[in-house]
């Protein structure tokens, strides 16, 4: 058994590339992923096949429901020549009490990569610790790195180099989108302003760490109680739903807190005239954003949704090829 144990240990050492948060990447790696995604997007539009992951299999574990994450990863693997395997937590032994460690070790022997969409961020960290294949965070309550890669790609497509741009995030500051955007902005040299009601500020440690990272890339992260201050002269405005999955019991209370933070024509007037509006979807028109804004000329939300496919294909190639 000694040789087998040594082989397993070596395999784990050779497969330590995971994407659990945006800060697992460097600025150069984000740039490379954006450039690769643009090439893949162009090739797809031209009908040029790119089977970079021929014969590879991605296991996809879902503890939360999904539209864009499931479809983009599944279609992405197919277009790359591989296969994606949908695994609902209700249908595998994980849902019947098998440990995360055991599940990770077993699945690592079947598939070439794992994408997980779950609640607690600690769950995906435990998966990565015990997996001998790359693990990708498809969303946790704390981070959403694959969505933010698509957001950065979308901003780059429309605005060019990211360094020096200003991004304003308005709404629930203590959610996965805010945290991943803070890290993504810091790494790419974008200035980012967050505005949230009291008690809904970003996680203090994540904000502190991202601010230190921002200094290294000559960027500034800031927090404002007044959303007008955050949006002032912004190149990009981003928001998200006020009530995320698992918070449904708080919906009415949250509506009252967040109403002054709605993205509407009056608030958007403080941004630059050519600002972009992003939203990760699904959206509640009339709550976090008015229909006039999300369906208007500044909105790129459907390009953003499409770019989940292209950004994730670039990521899959980087981690699994």
Coil, strand, or helix at residue 269? coil
* pLDDT, tens only, 221-240: 999 999 999 999 999 999 99
Does residue 2 lie in a domain region? Answer: no
Q: Is 16 annotated as a binding residue?
A: no
Q: Can you give the pTM of this predicted structure?
A: 0.93
Tell me, what DSSP letter sits at residue 93?
Answer: G
179 and 100 belong to one structural domain: no
* pLDDT, tens only, 79-128: 999 999 999 988 888 867 899 999 999 999 999 999 999 999 999 999 99
Coil, strand, or helix at residue 33? helix
251 and 297 belong to one structural domain: yes
Count of domains for the chain: 2
Position 10 confidence tier, pLDDT thresholds 50, 70, 90: very low
154 and 292 belong to one structural domain: yes
Residue 71, pLDDT > 50, answer yes
Q: Is 103 annotated as a binding residue?
A: no
- How far is the C-alpha of 220 from the C-alpha of 95, rounded, in Å? 43
Q: Is 85 annotated as a binding residue?
A: no
211 and 244 belong to one structural domain: yes
What average pLDDT score do residues 146-152 get? 98
151 and 279 belong to one structural domain: yes
Higher per-residue pLDDT: 256 or 34? 34
Tell me, what DSSP letter sits at residue 300?
Answer: -
Does residue 216 lie in a domain region? Answer: yes
174 and 232 belong to one structural domain: yes
- How far is the C-alpha of 21 from the C-alpha of 292, rounded, in Å? 33
Q: Is 68 annotated as a binding residue?
A: yes
Q: Is 285 annotated as a binding residue?
A: no
Coil, strand, or helix at residue 80? coil
Yes or no: say if 117 and 63 are a contact pair by the CB < 8 Å rule: yes
Residue of 262, 14, 58, 235 whose CA lies nearest to 146: 58
Cα 276–chain centre separation: 18
Q: Is 3 annotated as a binding residue?
A: no
Residues forming a β-bridge with 58: 84, 113
Average pLDDT, the chain: 93
Q: Which residue has the tokens 């001998």?
A: 132
Q: Which domain holds residue 52?
A: 12-143+308-320
Does residue 7 lie in a domain region? Answer: no
* pLDDT, tens only, 27-47: 999 999 999 999 999 999 999
- How far is the C-alpha of 75 from the C-alpha of 79, rounded, in Å? 6
Residues forming a β-bridge with 87: 61
Residue 15, pLDDT > 80, answer no
Q: What is the CATH number of the domain that holds 220?
A: 3.40.50.1370
217 and 229 belong to one structural domain: yes
- The sign of the torsion formed by the CA atoms of 23, 25, 27, 30 equals negative
Q: Is 67 annotated as a binding residue?
A: yes
Q: Catalytic amino acids? A: 117, 144, 147, 240, 280, 308
* pLDDT, tens only, 271-312: 999 999 999 999 999 999 999 999 999 999 999 999 999 999
């Amino acid at each position: 058994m000694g040789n087998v144990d040594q082989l397993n240990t070596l395999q784990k050492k050779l497969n330590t590339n995971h994407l659990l948060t945006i800060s697992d990447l460097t600025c150069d790696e984000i740039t490379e992923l954006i450039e690769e995604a643009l090439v893949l997007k162009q090739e797809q539009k031209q009908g040029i096949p790119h089977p970079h992951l021929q014969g590879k299999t991605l296991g996809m574990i879902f503890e939360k429901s999904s539209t864009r994450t499931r479809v983009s990863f599944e279609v992405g693997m197919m277009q790359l020549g591989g296969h994606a395997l949908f695994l609902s937590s209700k249908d595998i032994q994980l849902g019947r009490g098998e440990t995360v460690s055991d599940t990770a070790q077993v699945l690592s022997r079947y598939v070439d990569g794992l994408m997980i969409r779950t609640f607690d961020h600690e769950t995906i960290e435990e998966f990565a610790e015990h997996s001998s294949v790359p693990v990708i965070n498809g969303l946790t309550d704390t981070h959403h790195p694959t969505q933010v890669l698509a957001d950065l790609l979308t901003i780059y497509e429309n605005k060019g180099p990211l360094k020096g741009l200003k991004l304003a995030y308005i709404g629930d500051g203590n959610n996965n989108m805010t945290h991943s955007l803070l890290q993504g902005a810091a790494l790419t040299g974008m200035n980012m302003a967050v505005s949230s009601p009291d008690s809904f500020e970003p996680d203090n440690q994540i904000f502190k760490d991202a601010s230190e990272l921002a200094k290294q890339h000559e960027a500034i992260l800031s927090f404002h109680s007044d959303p007008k201050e955050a949006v002032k002269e912004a190149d990009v405005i981003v928001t998200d739903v006020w009530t995320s999955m698992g918070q449904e019991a708080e919906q009415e209370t949250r509506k009252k807190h967040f109403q002054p933070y709605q993205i509407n024509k009056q608030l958007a007037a403080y941004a630059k005239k050519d600002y972009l509006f992003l939203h990760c979807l699904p959206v509640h028109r009339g709550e976090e954003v008015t229909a006039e804004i999300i369906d208007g000329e500044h909105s790129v939300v459907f390009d953003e949704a499409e770019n989940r496919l292209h950004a994730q294909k670039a990521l899959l190639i980087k981690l699994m090829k």
